[in-house]
Structure 1
């Protein structure tokens, strides 16, 4: 049974992380964030470091640079200065220094290298598939997905080709309750859904509701142990979150939606194919809303790896 005090602690701290992501372009002082968590400002920096394993200042700097790196990659026409200001840097020069210190290249170089980085990742996927066809190659590896998945499991990726049948849809906004996982994407997410989220959803009578898997971080940019993922389910307006569960509004709007069906061990490859192969030739670009997986009901503990389906949804706007 979850310790109710620990659950409340986690819920408050997750509220702070959500607030930070929504206000990266604004000053984020300790007193304000302590107020979001309803903790004492005097002790909040110690509480934050103990919970997340890094200081508040280090976390803010990391998130600003990671969001900037993703923005530079997926919005090639956005001026670098606008990207810098959008994540809270006061000048382009300060941003360039901090960015190069973190990623080893200037923001402009990072942007120029994006097609080559994405192609290298696609080549790695294709090489892994070819390796999986060869039974004499025993060293099979399970990579992390860019957005996570409810059903990621242990084992190698099977011999499955990914095809994209993508439609552009306008999805309504959704009010969701979520439980958060912080750590590497991959097999741990399947364990999180089966062992933690699905029992919680069933206990609260939510198992039949539309649910979502929301990965907030790119593990090629964010350290795997810092990646955040929400398992979420739609809830009515009067639903009250307790313990570690949080409430969020998932924005509606235009999304590219691809139906995935098959072995869950290939879902990471499907995300990669959708976002870094289909999207560049589609006439669309990423919009500033989260990507997510959408399920017709909360995947339960007995979800089969061979009979798994969901919709992969990425927010888009025209080029």
Structure 2
């Protein structure tokens, strides 16, 4: 199969991934624009058209969400250290930006304010990105989140060292729930036709941040396969190897939120690793029904 050269959009995906990998470093817009073959002016315009935000604002929000993750999951790390690691020049600048984004101080957030933010500001839309249900069977996506029976999800968690995976993907911005599910299903049908992907092949959904802290307009969700691509419109990224807490499922759609609340928050050995993405792997079984696993990145405390 002949693969065309990467499109400018896919190169922009690569730039965004570089921004995520260097979230604590100064933002060099000229260099980022050049790497995507844009002038600085056109880079910012195209970036805004694609994401809804300027590159500067997009990186600022990602820095703040990274800090929010660390404040929740790494309570022993000083706030000033988190501010520095997330690219803020001073604690005062971080404190001002954090309060503007989350309507509370970093200290209040760490002490439990994150839960109120998740429930009140984001709500159930905070964890519906990880579904690929068929368009005619969206009831599970539209249903509100129901906490699992205590211990029922924790009993199913398996710790695995997953290998690196090279993914060809489409990036979706500002979509969640049924709209995102239908978009992913449409993408599957298109790539099966264009790339010859087998009907039972695995598909991967990837989210780089805690879904509970990201509103719908700021969602950035990658969905794709591990095969070849017939054109240059798809991005390419490597899902990193490492230790993940995995939840296998079959003919159901569990949520990452249940893994956080029924397992991660209730044990003392592992913590969330904000440097690696959440991963959902799905595939059709012999009957055409979905099965797969949720993989939550973790590290030792």
CA 1:89–1:201: 2 relative to 1, 3 Å: farther
Post-superposition offset of 1:223: 2.9
For 1:83-94, what aligned pairs fall within 5 Å after superposition?
A: 83-94=82-93
Tell me whether 1:315 sits opposite 2:291 in the alignment. Answer: no
CA 1:62–1:194: 2 relative to 1, 3 Å: same
Equivalent residue for 1:213, pick from 199, 205, 218: 205
**Residue of structure 2 equivalent to 1:145:** 127
Structure with greater contact order relative to length (CA < 8 Å, sep ≥ 6): 2
**Residue of structure 2 equivalent to 1:73:** 72
What are the ranges of 5 or more consecutive residues in structure 2 without an aligned counterpart?
none
**Residue of structure 2 equivalent to 1:135:** none
**Residue of structure 2 equivalent to 1:242:** 231
CA 1:182–1:223: 2 relative to 1, 3 Å: same
Equivalent residue for 2:257, pick from 261, 272, 294: 272
Could you list the per-position Cα deviations for residues 53-98 of structure 1 after superposition, in whole angstroms to 9, with x for gaps in the alignment? 2222222211211221122112222221221112211122211111
- CA RMSD in angstroms comes to 3.1
Could you list the per-position Cα deviations for residues 269-304 of structure 1 after superposition, in whole angstroms to 9, with x for gaps in the alignment? x32111122112233111231111113x4x59x996
Tell me whether 1:227 sits opposite 2:226 in the alignment. Answer: no
Post-superposition offset of 1:229: 0.8
What are the ranges of 5 or more consecutive residues in structure 1 without an aligned counterpart?
125-141
CA contact under 8 A between 1:183 and 1:227: conserved in structure 2?
Answer: yes
Secondary structure class of the residue paired with 1:225: helix
CA 1:157–1:47: 2 relative to 1, 3 Å: closer
Could you list the per-position Cα deviations for residues 152-205 of structure 1 after superposition, in whole angstroms to 9, with x for gaps in the alignment? 863343998843201111111111111111123211222122212342145323
Could you list the per-position Cα deviations for residues 225-276 of structure 1 after superposition, in whole angstroms to 9, with x for gaps in the alignment? 22011112224xxx56733211111111111111122344xx3xx3211112
Paired residues, number: 284
Equivalent residue for 2:280, pick from 276, 293, 305: 293
Secondary structure class of the residue paired with 2:166: strand
**Residue of structure 2 equivalent to 1:154:** 138
CA 1:159–1:32: 2 relative to 1, 3 Å: closer
TM-score, normalising length: structure 1:
0.78
For 1:59-138, what aligned pairs fall within 5 Å after superposition?
A: 59-114=58-113, 116-117=115-116
Secondary structure class of the residue paired with 1:66: helix
